[in-house]
Structure 1
Amino acid sequence: MKNILKITSMLAISALTFACGSGQQKEEAATVQEESPAKAESNDGFIKIFDGESLNGWDGDATYWRVENGAIVGEITEETKLERNHFIIYQGGQPADFEFKAEFKITEAGNSGVNYRSEPVEGLAHALKGYQADIDGKNNYTGQNYEERKRTTLAYIGQQTKINPQEKEGDLRANVEKNAWLGLEVVQELGDRAEMRKVVKSNDWNEIRIVAKGNRLKHYINGTLMSDVTDEDPANSTSEGYLGMQVHVGPPMQVAYRNIYLKNL
């Protein structure tokens, strides 16, 4: 009888231990299952390329670039006026097909932009040439496609364009007129330019998104497609290159970028 009671007691303890352990495992598994989808959904394939605290992974002249209040800040003062445009350049690769998104805020006198698929300028530190999603404080150009140090304007605000090659003799400037590439062909208008400019908030935070896939380049501001370029100029187009943000020659200004993300397509 004592043996039966002992065996029964041991079985009960084992069952209780198994139940508790099983319950704990289920609880831990449930926690993992609850956290994983949320994490995946929040990233959506994007990688954060600015940590919000330092310029690790970026290369820029400290005279003009710093981190402040969780943002990369570019500033020109009366004492630090520029003789040429300067960039802070992402060192984590040379994206080809990608989606980029960030928030920016710029002062009224400011002139900036996000360069991509760009190359360094020989002999000049922190200089890039290539495609640029333009940004300015007066909101004359924000969202257009301007090619820095190359073919100049490829699409104004509100334009879907096709870029055709030009064959005038001489350098690239021989094919530029009124600061626009002569091969710029307007496919269609995306909307009323005056109305489109109203989506940009002055001296406040705005979202910029760039989608570059193959030879098609789209610029969005606060969810509105501002310009759409299909580049069919093989001699001058680029399929990959450096990414960077600009401070432009001009009066004292400040621009800030935060929540900077990149997704390879």
Structure 2
Amino acid sequence: MRKRSLIAGCLLLAAGLVALQAAQAGAWVALFDGQTLNGWVQRGGKALYEVKDGVIIGSTVAGTPNSFLCTQKDYGDFELELELKVDSRLNSGIQIRSQCFDKETTVEWQGKTIKIPAKRVHGYQVEVDPSARAWSGGIYDEGRRGWLQDLKNKPEAQKAFKTNDWNHYRIVCQGDSIKTWINGVPAADLKDAMTPKGFIALQVHGHKESGLKVMWRNIRIREL
């Protein structure tokens, strides 16, 4: 009887741990604490990143290349939500499943060999494009293959982005599927399996003028 009770107790404990892990896997977690840049590391250029009034502010520095504020943790399958606002003269992006290596690396794609320099942030980027082209929410492969899915045939998505205002981005990555929404409007829907896991990063695009700003707030993620 005692042995049966012990086995039953172990089974209940195991079931509880499984349930707890499942709950944790689906729980929303803040990537930004609203006060500091703890959990993030800057790579690439020398743009300025600071926190003010619960907002991450990235500012251009003339003559420096693309800059990226990157999570120290890698993510594979997830749902990411955030709000952003960008100067209408500046391009930006949200890196997902991205990587950066100390040594030059190569990848093979469609019979081509692509060389990626050492220290170069590369990977999927969800576009932030306030220009007349209006491809915000499209998916660009930063430092690697270029455009994977633009929005030239998606007029509703092109109209969704609000210039000089806050915009809500939703990004869902699961397996080879990457989907995006801008202010609740479906944008990109891509199937691509080149990189299943990597960091998330906030880009300040290189610019000839200093002081142009991108702002991010309410950044949260849940792993799927």
TM-score normalised according to structure 2 size? 0.75
Structure 2 unpaired stretches of 5+: 1-22, 104-116
Structure 1 unpaired stretches of 5+: 1-39, 159-188
Quote the residue 1:118 is aligned against: 98
> How far apart in 2 are the matches of 1:45 and 1:219?
20
Letter paired with 2:28? F
Quote the residue 2:141 is aligned against: 147
> How far apart in 1 are the matches of 2:74 and 2:157?
31
Pairing 1:214–2:175 present: yes
> How far apart in 1 are the matches of 2:203 and 2:51?
15
Over the matched positions of the two proteins, sequence identity in percent amounts to 34
> How far apart in 2 are the matches of 1:146 and 1:105?
19
Quote the residue 1:170 is aligned against: none
Give 3-state SS (helix, strand or coil) of 1:54's partner: coil
Quote the residue 2:70 is aligned against: 89
Letter paired with 1:254? K
Listed one character per residue, the Cα deviations across residues 49-84 of structure 1 (whole Å, up to 9, x for unaligned) are: 1011111111127751111221111111xxx21432
Letter paired with 1:264? E
Seen in structure 2, the aligned counterparts of structure 1 residues 153 and 47 have a Cα distance that, compared at 3 Å, is same
Give 3-state SS (helix, strand or coil) of 2:57's partner: strand
Pairing 1:254–2:213 present: yes
Select 2:27's aligned residue among 8, 22, 45: 45
Seen in structure 2, the aligned counterparts of structure 1 residues 95 and 155 have a Cα distance that, compared at 3 Å, is same
Q: Is the 8 A contact 1:87 1:127 kept in 2?
A: no
Number of aligned positions between the proteins = 182
Seen in structure 2, the aligned counterparts of structure 1 residues 63 and 125 have a Cα distance that, compared at 3 Å, is farther
Q: Is the 8 A contact 2:172 2:178 kept in 1?
A: yes
More helix by share: 1
Seen in structure 2, the aligned counterparts of structure 1 residues 63 and 85 have a Cα distance that, compared at 3 Å, is closer
Select 2:84's aligned residue among 95, 99, 104: 104
Q: Is the 8 A contact 1:86 1:126 kept in 2?
A: no
Quote the residue 2:38 is aligned against: 56
Q: Is the 8 A contact 1:82 1:248 kept in 2?
A: no
The structural deviation recorded for 1:211 is 0.4
Quote the residue 1:7 is aligned against: none
Select 1:130's aligned residue among 119, 123, 127: 123
Letter paired with 1:150? R
Give 3-state SS (helix, strand or coil) of 1:196's partner: helix
> How far apart in 1 are the matches of 2:47 and 2:90?
17
Q: Is the 8 A contact 1:216 1:229 kept in 2?
A: yes
TM-score normalised according to structure 1 size? 0.64
Q: Is the 8 A contact 1:109 1:251 kept in 2?
A: no
Seen in structure 2, the aligned counterparts of structure 1 residues 222 and 212 have a Cα distance that, compared at 3 Å, is same
Listed one character per residue, the Cα deviations across residues 201-255 of structure 1 (whole Å, up to 9, x for unaligned) are: 11111101110000010111111111110115xxxx0000111010111243210
Pairing 1:66–2:71 present: no
Seen in structure 2, the aligned counterparts of structure 1 residues 141 and 122 have a Cα distance that, compared at 3 Å, is farther
Give 3-state SS (helix, strand or coil) of 1:60's partner: strand
> How far apart in 1 are the matches of 2:52 and 2:79?
25
Give 3-state SS (helix, strand or coil) of 2:160's partner: coil
Letter paired with 1:257? W
Letter paired with 1:262? I
Letter paired with 1:53? Q
Q: Is the 8 A contact 2:130 2:161 kept in 1?
A: no
Seen in structure 2, the aligned counterparts of structure 1 residues 53 and 238 have a Cα distance that, compared at 3 Å, is same
> How far apart in 1 are the matches of 2:42 and 2:55?
14
